[in-house]
C-alpha cells in the first residue's frame, strides 16, 4: 500500500476510464493477486457441485460407503481451502481499495497545493469537498472489478465448459445468459452514469451552500438574510433529493437484475436438467451437479452486475477528479532573476512605490482599492508591477513566493495545534514564536489556551474570536520573516489598545525590512514612514500621516471618520467605567500602557488628540 511519503505518480487525466486503469496499473502485483485469488475462490465454489455429484453417483447410488466418505472429505477440504482463499482475497482487495483511495487523495491534495491561490478562483469549495469526501471513496470501491469481477467472468466460462461436457442444452442456456444480461443491464448502466453525474453536480452545489451558511451565518443574521438563504438551501436540497430518488430507481433495477436474472436461468436450467434426468439422459448425480453449477452462478452473475454498477459510479467520480486535475496553475514564464538586494516594488497601475526597508501604509477611500494594489505587488493578479526594475511576472513564481508574503486578514487557518498552525513547514522555534506572539500582541491568545501554543485550534480558527484569529494570522506571517511583508488590514478587528501595541511593535520588529499595510486606522498610520492615499485606485497624495492630515482634506476626512467612530466607542467604554473626562484619549493611553508600555500610550494620546 502507498506510503505516506511515497510519490503517487503522474495520473492519466485523459478520461475517467484511463484514470481508473492508472490506479490499477500503479499496483500491478496486488491487482493481479486480487484477480487470481478472486478467480480461484469462485472456481473452488464451482467445484463443490462436481464433488457432490461424484459423492452421489459413486457413493450413494453405487452403495459404496468408502467412496462416499472419500468424496465427502474432499468436499470439506475444498470448502476449507475456498474459505482461506476468500480471506486472502478480501485482504488483498481491501489493500487495493485503500491504495487507490490514498493515492487519489495524494494526487488531488498535491494538485490543490500546486494550484495555490488560483484554486478558489478556478473551482468552488463545494466541488472540492464533494471530490475529497465522496468521489475518492467511490473510485476506490469501483476497483472491485479487479477481484470478484474478473473471477466472475472466469468462473462463468469454467461452468459453461463443464456443463458442455455433461449436456450441450443446459450449457447453451448458460452461455446465452451473459449476453442477455448485458443487453438488459447495458442501457440501465448508461442511464445510471447520466443520473449519477447530475446527482454529483447537485451535491457540489448543496455542499457549497452549506459552506456559505456555516461561514456567514452571523452576517446573514445581521442583514436579515437567513430566511432567504434557508429557502435557497431548501430548494437545492429538494432537487438533490429528487435526483437521488432517480439514481436510486435505476440502481435498484440494476441490483434487482443481479438477483432476478440468475434465478430465472436457474429455474430454466433446473427444469431442463430434471426433464433430461427423467428421460434417463442424466444421472441423479449429474442432475445435482447441474443444479449446483447454476446455483453457484447466482453469485458470480450478481458480482458481474455489481461490477458494472460500481464501475459506472466510479467513472463518474473519476471524471470529476480528472476535471479538477486538468486545472492548470497560473502560468509561470518567469526567467529573470529577482533583485539580489532588497529593492523597490512599484505598481504603475496605482502609482504606489514601496521603498525597501521601510514601513509603507496604503489608505484607500475604498478598501478594495488598497487590496488590489497588494494583490498586484504580491503577484496574485496579472499586472505590470516591477521589483527592482524587473517586471514581477518575469521573475520565477517560486522566488517571488519565497521572498514576498501576502498576509490576508481572511487567510485560511488550518486545524492543528497553535504551534503547527503558525509554523507551517518550518521547525518550531520557541524564541522566534515568542517574539512573533509579542509583536502581534497575541500573548492573551496563547495564555487563554489550556496548553498554550500546543493547544488544538479548530479549522479556520473557529474556536477563536475574530480579533484572535487576526492576530494568529499576523503571528504566522511574522514567524515566516519574509523580506517583503504585504499585510491587508492586519488590525481591523482589534480594539484601540491592542491596535496601538501592534502598530508600535510591528514597526520595531520589522525595522530594516520592507513592510506594507493597508489600513485607515490613525493608530497604525502614524507609525508608517510613508502613507499613500488612494482615490479610485490611484495615488491622490503621499507623505507622512501627520502631513497628510494637515494638507489633504480627503485623507483627513477618511481618517477622521474612522477616528470619530473609534473615539465614540472608547468614550462610551470610559463612561461605563466612570471616567467621562477626555474618555477617548485616557482610555487609549491606559490600554496602550498595559499592552506595550509608555511609548505606546504616548502615541495613542498624540493621535487621538
CA distances from residue 359 to 203, 390, 400, 478, 540 in whole angstroms, order as listed: 47, 22, 19, 14, 19
Q: Which residues pair with 541 in a beta bridge?
A: 533
pLDDT at position 591: 38
pLDDT at position 257: 73
Residue that is written with C-alpha cell 479548530 in the block:
458
* 45 touches 296 (CB < 8 A): yes
Cα 50 to chain centroid, rounded: 52
Helix (H, G, I), strand (E, B) or coil at 533: strand
* 254 touches 177 (CB < 8 A): no
Helix (H, G, I), strand (E, B) or coil at 360: strand
pLDDT at position 3: 64
pLDDT at position 548: 93
- The CA-based angle 17-239-131, given to 5 degrees, is 35
Helix or strand holding residue 167 (H, E) = none
* 539 touches 350 (CB < 8 A): yes
Cell numbers for 162: 463443464
* 28 touches 92 (CB < 8 A): no
Separation between Cα atoms, residue 124 and residue 207, nearest integer Å: 10
Cell numbers for 126: 463545494
What is the DSSP code (8-state) at residue 281? S
Separation between Cα atoms, residue 299 and residue 288, nearest integer Å: 18
pLDDT at position 590: 35
pLDDT at position 333: 66
Separation between Cα atoms, residue 401 and residue 371, nearest integer Å: 18
Buried b (16+ CB within 10 A) or exposed e, 104-120: bbbbbeebbeebebebe
pLDDT at position 535: 93
Mean pLDDT by 10 residues, the chain (609 residues): 71 90 90 88 82 79 83 89 90 90 88 76 66 80 79 79 77 71 71 74 68 53 58 78 81 74 75 81 76 74 74 85 83 78 93 94 91 92 90 89 88 83 77 90 88 83 83 91 93 89 92 93 93 94 93 90 47 38 34 39 39
pLDDT at position 143: 84
pLDDT at position 178: 65
Cell numbers for 584: 477617548
Amino acid at each position: 500500500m502507498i506510503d505516506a511519503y511515497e510519490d503517487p505518480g503522474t495520473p492519466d487525466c485523459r478520461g475517467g476510464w484511463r484514470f481508473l486503469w492508472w490506479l490499477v496499473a500503479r499496483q500491478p502485483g496486488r491487482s493481479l493477486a486480487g484477480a487470481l485469488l478472486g478467480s480461484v475462490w469462485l472456481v473452488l465454489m464451482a467445484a463443490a457441485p462436481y464433488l457432490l455429484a461424484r459423492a452421489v453417483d459413486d457413493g450413494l447410488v453405487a452403495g459404496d460407503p468408502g467412496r462416499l466418505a472419500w468424496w465427502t472429505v474432499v468436499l470439506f477440504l475444498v470448502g476449507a481451502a475456498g474459505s482461506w482463499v476468500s480471506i486472502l482475497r478480501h485482504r488483498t482487495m481491501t489493500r487495493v481499495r485503500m491504495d487507490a483511495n490514498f493515492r487519489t487523495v495524494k494526487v488531488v491534495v498535491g494538485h490543490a497545493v500546486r494550484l495555490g491561490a488560483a484554486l478558489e478562483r478556478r473551482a468552488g469549495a463545494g466541488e472540492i469537498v464533494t471530490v475529497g469526501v465522496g468521489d475518492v471513496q467511490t473510485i476506490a470501491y469501483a476497483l472491485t472489478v479487479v477481484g470478484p469481477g474478473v473471477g466472475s467472468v472466469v468462473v462463468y466460462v469454467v461452468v459453461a465448459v463443464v456443463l458442455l461436457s455433461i449436456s450441450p442444452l443446459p450449457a447453451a442456456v448458460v452461455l446465452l445468459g451473459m449476453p442477455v444480461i448485458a443487453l438488459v443491464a447495458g442501457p440501465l448502466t448508461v442511464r445510471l452514469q447520466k443520473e449519477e453525474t447530475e446527482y454529483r453536480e447537485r451535491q457540489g452545489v448543496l455542499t457549497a451552500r452549506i459552506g456559505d451558511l456555516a461561514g456567514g451565518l452571523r452576517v446573514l443574521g445581521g442583514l436579515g438574510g437567513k430566511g432567504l438563504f434557508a429557502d435557497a438551501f431548501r430548494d437545492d436540497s429538494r432537487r438533490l433529493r429528487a435526483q437521488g430518488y432517480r439514481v436510486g430507481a435505476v440502481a435498484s433495477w440494476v441490483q434487482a437484475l443481479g438477483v432476478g436474472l440468475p434465478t430465472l436461468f436457474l429455474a430454466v436450467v433446473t427444469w431442463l436438467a430434471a426433464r433430461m434426468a427423467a428421460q434417463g439422459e442424466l444421472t441423479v448425480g449429474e442432475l445435482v451437479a447441474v443444479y449446483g453449477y447454476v446455483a453457484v452462478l447466482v453469485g458470480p452473475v450478481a458480482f458481474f452486475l455489481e461490477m458494472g454498477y460500481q464501475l459506472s459510479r466510479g467513472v463518474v467520480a473519476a471524471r470529476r477528479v480528472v476535471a479538477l486535475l486538468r486545472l492548470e496553475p497560473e502560468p509561470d514564464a518567469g526567467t529573470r532573476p529577482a533583485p539580489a538586494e532588497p529593492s523597490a516594488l512599484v505598481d504603475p497601475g496605482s502609482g504606489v512605490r514601496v521603498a525597501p526597508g521601510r514601513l509603507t501604509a496604503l489608505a484607500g477611500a475604498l478598501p478594495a482599492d488598497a487590496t488590489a494594489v497588494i494583490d498586484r505587488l504580491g503577484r496574485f493578479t496579472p499586472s505590470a508591477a516591477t521589483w527592482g526594475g524587473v517586471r514581477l511576472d518575469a521573475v520565477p513564481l517560486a522566488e517571488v513566493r519565497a521572498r514576498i508574503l501576502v498576509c490576508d486578514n481572511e487567510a485560511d487557518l488550518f486545524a492543528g495545534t497553535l504551534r503547527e498552525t503558525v509554523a507551517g513547514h518550518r521547525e518550531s522555534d520557541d524564541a522566534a514564536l515568542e517574539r512573533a506572539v509579542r509583536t502581534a500582541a497575541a500573548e492573551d491568545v496563547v495564555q487563554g489556551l489550556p496548553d498554550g501554543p500546543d493547544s488544538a485550534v479548530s479549522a479556520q480558527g473557529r474556536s477563536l474570536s475574530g480579533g484572535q484569529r487576526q492576530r494568529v494570522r499576523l503571528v504566522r506571517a511574522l514567524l515566516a520573516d519574509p523580506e517583503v511583508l504585504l499585510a491587508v488590514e492586519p488590525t481591523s478587528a482589534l480594539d484601540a489598545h491592542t491596535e496601538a501595541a501592534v502598530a508600535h511593535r510591528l514597526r520595531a520588529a520589522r525595522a530594516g525590512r520592507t513592510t506594507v499595510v493597508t489600513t485607515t486606522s490613525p493608530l497604525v498610520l502614524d507609525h508608517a514612514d510613508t502613507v499613500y492615499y488612494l482615490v479610485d485606485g490611484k495615488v491622490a497624495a503621499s507623505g507622512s500621516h501627520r502631513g497628510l492630515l494637515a494638507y489633504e482634506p480627503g485623507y483627513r476626512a477618511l481618517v477622521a471618520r474612522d477616528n470619530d467612530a473609534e473615539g465614540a466607542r472608547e468614550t462610551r467604554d470610559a463612561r461605563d467605567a466612570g471616567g467621562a473626562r477626555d474618555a477617548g484619549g485616557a482610555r487609549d493611553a491606559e490600554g496602550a500602557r498595559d499592552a506595550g508600555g509608555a511609548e505606546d500610550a504616548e502615541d495613542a494620546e498624540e493621535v487621538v488628540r
